Amino acid sequence: MAMVGAFIAVSIMLGIGVQILGNSVQDCTNLPDFNVTAGATQTGWAAQCETTNTQSQSAYSLLIIVIIVIAAVVILAVVRMLA
């Protein structure tokens, strides 16, 4: 039961983290040095904005992997208790 409670608690915390990350991605097109040409390399503030967006998306992917690993541990613990 403790493992199930821990899983629920971690899921809630990760859900809040996902909400924070979802709100941190910005629209970089309104920056003055944004280059609208397809495939263009951004410079200045636009480059920093694009980098931040990429890092946020990577962190979101990592959160999904963490929740899958925690779910697997909980499932294995429950199976072990049943055996």
Query: Is residue 70 predicted with pLDDT exceeding 70?
Result: yes
Q: Tens digit of pLDDT for each residue in 4-50?
A: 777 778 777 777 777 776 666 777 888 888 888 867 788 888 888 88
Cα separation, 44 vs 47, in Å, equals 5
pLDDT at 6: 78
pTM of the entire predicted model? 0.52
The residue with tokens 């541990």 is: 73
The residue with tokens 């962190």 is: 59
Q: What phi and psi values does residue 39 have, to the nearest 5 degrees?
A: 80, 10
Instruction: Give domain limits for the chain.
Output: 2-82
pLDDT mean over 57-66: 77
pLDDT at 55: 80
